[in-house]
């Protein structure tokens, strides 16, 4: 007996806040995030029958991520910056770079996050704000776990540097 696919509503509705949060941080504003989430939900609806079980949140966030980067490439090509493997190799241990999200000034933290390249911003938002595991982030971003760890370390280092410059760290 095969399992029937979960209804679209069960896959998407519980995860809409996380989808919007990721889209907002990747796009940089509410209006574009709404467009991205709407497009992502239409894509999710088309592909819901192919969902094979597992973590529906990661599944939806992967769709949101891909939709956001497609949207950014089309509407703001200058905003999408690729990170070379050489750059990723120059990484510090993330444990040496804690970012005190709970103690940071909200405005400075928001500006610091917005200053990050999209790949770094995505990783830090999924890890620190959405509290996803490295494995889940790797699945969403379709990159190896080592790349997730590298992006997080770089993001944390850049956030600390930004906040130190602003006197908030």
**Is domain 81-165 given the CATH code 1.10.10.10 in the classification?**
yes
State the Cα–Cα distance between residues 159 and 157, nearest whole angstrom: 5
Q: What are phi and psi of 166, to 5 degrees?
A: -90, 0
Least trusted range by pLDDT, from 2-6, 11-15, 59-63: 2-6
CATH of domain 8-78: 1.10.1740
Same fold, 8-78 and 81-165: no
The answer, yes or no, to whether residue 5 has pLDDT greater than 80, is no
Q: Mean pLDDT, to the nearest integer, of 108-115?
A: 88
Domain residue ranges of the chain, discontinuous segments joined by +: 8-78, 81-165
Residue 57 pLDDT grade (very low, low, confident, very high; cuts 50, 70, 90):
very high
The pLDDT value given to residue 151 = 94
Arithmetic mean of pLDDT, 64-69? 93
Whether 75 has a pLDDT exceeding 90, the answer reads no
């Amino acid at each position: 007996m095969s399992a029937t696919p979960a209804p679209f509503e069960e896959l998407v509705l519980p995860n809409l806040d996380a989808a919007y949060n990721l889209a907002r941080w990747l796009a940089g504003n509410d209006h574009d995030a709404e467009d991205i989430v709407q497009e992502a939900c239409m894509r999710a609806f088309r592909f819901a029958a192919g969902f094979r079980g597992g973590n529906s949140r990661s599944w939806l966030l992967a769709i949101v991520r891909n939709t956001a980067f497609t949207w950014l490439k089309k509407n703001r090509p200058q905003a999408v910056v690729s990170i070379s493997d050489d750059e990723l190799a120059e990484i510090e241990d993330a444990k040496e770079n804690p970012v005190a999200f709970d103690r940071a000034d909200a405005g400075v933290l928001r500006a610091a996050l917005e200053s990050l390249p999209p790949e770094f911003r995505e990783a830090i938002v999924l890890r620190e704000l959405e509290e996803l595991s490295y494995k889940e982030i790797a699945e969403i971003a379709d990159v190896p776990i080592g790349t997730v760890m590298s992006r997080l370390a770089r993001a944390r280092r850049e956030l600390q540097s930004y906040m130190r410059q602003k006197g908030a760290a």
